[in-house]
Amino acid sequence: MTAESMTSPQEDRIPWAAMAGIIATVTVFALAQGLTYPLLSFILERQGTTPGLIGLSAAMTPLGFIVSAPLIPALARRVGAARLAILGSILAAATLIAIAWTQDVWTWMPLRFLLGFFANPLYVISETWLISITPAPRRGRIMGLYSSVVSAGFAIGPLSLGLVGSEGWPPFMIGIVAFILCGLIVLAVVPRLPDMPDEGEATSVGSFFALAPLLLFAVFAAAAFEQVVMSLFAVYGAALGSAEARIASLIACFTAGNAVLQIVLGRVAERFGSTRTMLFCVLASLAGCLLLPLIFNAWLVWPIVFIWGGVSFGIYTMALIQLGERFTGQAVIAGAAAFAFIWGSGGIVGSPATGLAMQLIGYPGLPLSLGLLSCVLAVFLIVERRQV
């Protein structure tokens, strides 16, 4: 199922109102998600919860993504995409209220699972809408813009804790209001939103795995990169004798590159093609893994980590572009749901596997694990290019 390569001038027009509404919705969603992870970890740490249990609790949200993803295409067809997105935002807000009310690690386990389960349709449907309305000649820059603002939303979430703290209801209210706002934005732009693509045969998430296994492996790699750096970079830096403030600043630098460089990479993809650009991102990510141990204590680490953050997330941006290039109709929402499934899987598998590697061989386990993942993906991409 291949997207049309030629478009008319009418099709090249960008529906800015709908696009702004979709991007605003996902940005607010990202803010809420970016807030909950550190907020709940801070609370559990104050309660004396063990690190292992804190990690297990955090894994419940991506587990919710994984379980809900296969259900989203059929639910969107049956309930309606806009209704499902609005319902998901309301239920996510209600779940966050329950989390704030209970303040108990064991009660939080199923609640954090439900938070991921209810929030995921909003994310999948928004991506499907965006891919559906983006003109092919502008796909690179629009998807780059989308990735940049989503990354910025994830970054703003933790920063908001600096304003309101992590105690009491105020930080939870930011997340609750954000989820409600997501539903209100969708409701406001419903008349301008496209219908869910319905041409072609209904495609399940499982069927999409057979259609684009390498594309999904790229999503897995991007997810693993982000989750490993966010969860284990502090351990890596501490082993090298770096101060907490410097490590935190390096993580912020990684996130900044993540947010800033996606538009640039999107424009590069428009000029040189998304496949070539993805391969460049993978090779640049591999180079970052190799350079990190050599320059960690030098000033050069700052620009390297900035670029590393951009190119590693750029793998996901290129995957989104290719989803729009290669698929149409019902395969698009199945692909977006499969992306969510794999992103959650990368988050759950990546950090524990890298943590085990660091436990076995020491701090070099972090760059070696991510470097090995980049190397395998690069080999597969090169083989695929030669077969075309």
**What is the tens place of the pLDDT at every residue in 292-330?**
999 998 999 999 999 999 999 999 999 999 998 888 778
Alpha helices by DSSP H, listed for 261-329, are: 262-272, 274-295, 301-326
Q: Please, which pLDDT band fits residue 2 given cuts at 50, 70 and 90?
A: very low
pLDDT higher than threshold 70 for residue 164: yes
DSSP codes, 54-88: HHHHHHHHHHHHHHHGGGHHHHHHHH-HHHHHHHH
Interatomic CA distance for residues 5 and 373, integer angstroms: 32
pLDDT higher than threshold 90 for residue 199: no
Chain-centre distance of CA 355, in angstroms? 21
Summarize the confidence of residues 229-235 as an average pLDDT.
77
- What the chain holds in terms of domains, given with CATH numbers, is 12-196 (1.20.1250.20), 198-388 (1.20.1250.20)
Interatomic CA distance for residues 199 and 308, integer angstroms: 39
Structural contact between residues 369 and 228, judged by C-beta atoms closer than 8 angstroms: yes
Summarize the confidence of residues 147-154 as an average pLDDT.
82
In tens, the pLDDT along 15-73 reads 777 788 888 888 888 888 778 877 887 788 788 877 667 777 877 888 898 899 889 88
Q: Is 52 exposed, middle or buried (0-12, 13-18, 19+ CB in 10 A)?
A: exposed
Residues 6+ apart with CB under 8 A from 258: 151, 226, 309, 310, 312, 313
pLDDT at residue number 6: 38
CA-wise closest residue to 347 among 70, 65, 76, 51: 65
Angle at 156 between CA 153 and CA 161, to 5 degrees: 140
Interatomic CA distance for residues 316 and 219, integer angstroms: 5
In tens, the pLDDT along 252-298 reads 788 888 888 998 999 999 888 999 999 999 999 999 999 999 999 89
Residues 6+ apart with CB under 8 A from 260: 148, 306, 310
In tens, the pLDDT along 90-124 reads 999 999 999 999 888 899 999 999 998 998 888 88
pTM over 0.85: no
Interatomic CA distance for residues 46 and 367, integer angstroms: 31
